Amino acid sequence: MNKPNATVPEPILQRLTQAIGASNINRIEQIQPLWGGYGQLFRAYVNNGPYSSVIVKYIRLPQPTAHPRGWNTPISHQRKLRSYQVEVNWYKNYANAHLQQALSPLPHCLHVEQYTDQTLLVLQDLHTIGFTQTSTTATPCIIRACLTWLGHFHAKYMSVEPTGLWPVGTYWHLDTRPDEYAALTDSPLKSAAHHIDLALKQCPFQTLVHGDAKLANFCFSKDNRAAAVDFQYIGQGCGMKDVIMLLSSVLNYQEPEAVINAYVEHYFTALTQGLIACHPNINPLDVQQAWQPLYCVAWADFQRFIKGWSVEHVKINTYTESLTALALHQLACTT
């Protein structure tokens, strides 16, 4: 038998074995450490259990002493702590009741244990239901698969209250990022930040947004379907927030505008399909007319965070700056 990775404490492995009803763990494979040194994500291969493998998120909560970009503050620490509890609440109270697996697949929760400074979150391994691929290359097919998942997901959770989740979803939400807001030197954007936030929070047809819908948080099947993971920043919001986050992670910003616009249209096609399936009483055209003008506003909201967090970031470029300027003009015309 291969010895499990020694970085996972033996008591954790014992509790995991008991929790999933297996005789023993054959081996584990680390997927990645958690951001900021808060634990690790790993796959456990088990013997004589109901699952051949499971995904485990093992969270430890001492405050780290360093951060890769220097944002190690009490506010940052508390935001991370809350994000892990939000994810536990999502998996316990929402994911296992997620019946539209064919439209927007995601892992089910198999077991949760919480202690003062540790959390053990055991999830269905998407590999076991055919989502065996990840991608670092953003082909058009991959991008459309992610946008299809987002459209169906947003349709499924239209008007759902975010009980136990973030009142406003996304990891860059203004109220949770005072340090980055204070560091922002773009005066027009800084002055408009609260107006941008309100426009997104008060728009019609609020849904649940994934909150960190980057390419790295999707898995893919051989028939080019996508499934999402990592729900630490799920909460209420306008679906455009997830769309711009996905695009920010896959664009090289040299694409013709027509190509990007086609991606957005693909998203709205998927949203329409999802609404017809889940909420036939909602007119998809009404949702598109409410949300599409907020595409540039969602970019401006993200730009406010990025420019305060890392002013040299590649996501600050001609395309994102032009959309931010459009959003500021658009909002100025409505006040």
Where exactly are the structural domains of the chain? 10-124, 140-332
Decide if pLDDT at 9 tops 80. no
Residue 5 or residue 225, greater confidence: 225
Decide if pLDDT at 319 tops 90. yes
Across 168-179, average pLDDT: 96
Decide if pLDDT at 225 tops 60. yes
Residue 14 makes CB contacts below 8 A (sequence gap 6+) with none
Decide if pLDDT at 49 tops 90. no
pLDDT tens digits for range 239-259: 999 999 999 999 999 999 999
Residue 222 or residue 4, greater confidence: 222
Decide if pLDDT at 2 tops 50. no
pLDDT tens digits for range 97-119: 876 667 899 999 999 988 878 88
Neighbours of 182 (CB within 10 A): 9
Q: What is the model's pLDDT at position 62?
A: 62
Across 197-206, average pLDDT: 97
Q: What is the model's pLDDT at position 153?
A: 97
Mapped onto helix, strand or coil, the DSSP state of residue 42 is strand
Across 67-90, average pLDDT: 77
CA gap 256, 279 in Å, rounded: 34
Across 179-205, average pLDDT: 96
pLDDT tens digits for range 154-166: 999 999 999 999 9
CB 87 within 8 A of CB 67: no
Q: What is the model's pLDDT at position 1?
A: 37
pLDDT tens digits for range 119-139: 899 999 999 999 999 998 899
Fold of 10-124: Phosphorylase Kinase; domain 1 (3.30.200)
Across 56-61, average pLDDT: 86
- One DSSP character per residue, 135-170 reads -SS--HHHHHHHHHHHHHHHHHTTT---TTSBSS-S
Across 61-78, average pLDDT: 61
Decide if pLDDT at 6 tops 80. no
CA gap 34, 42 in Å, rounded: 10
Across 7-23, average pLDDT: 79
Confidence of residue 75 (pLDDT cuts 50, 70, 90): confident
Q: What is the model's pLDDT at position 57?
A: 92
Confidence of residue 335 (pLDDT cuts 50, 70, 90): low
Confidence of residue 73 (pLDDT cuts 50, 70, 90): low
Q: What is the model's pLDDT at position 72?
A: 58
Share the mean pLDDT of the chain.
Answer: 90
Fold of 140-332: Aminoglycoside 3'-phosphotransferase; Chain: A, domain 2 (3.90.1200)
| Structure-block tokens of residue 312 | 């040299």
Q: What is the model's pLDDT at position 105?
A: 92
Beta strands 39-47 and 53-60 are: antiparallel
Confidence of residue 78 (pLDDT cuts 50, 70, 90): confident
Q: What is the model's pLDDT at position 25?
A: 83
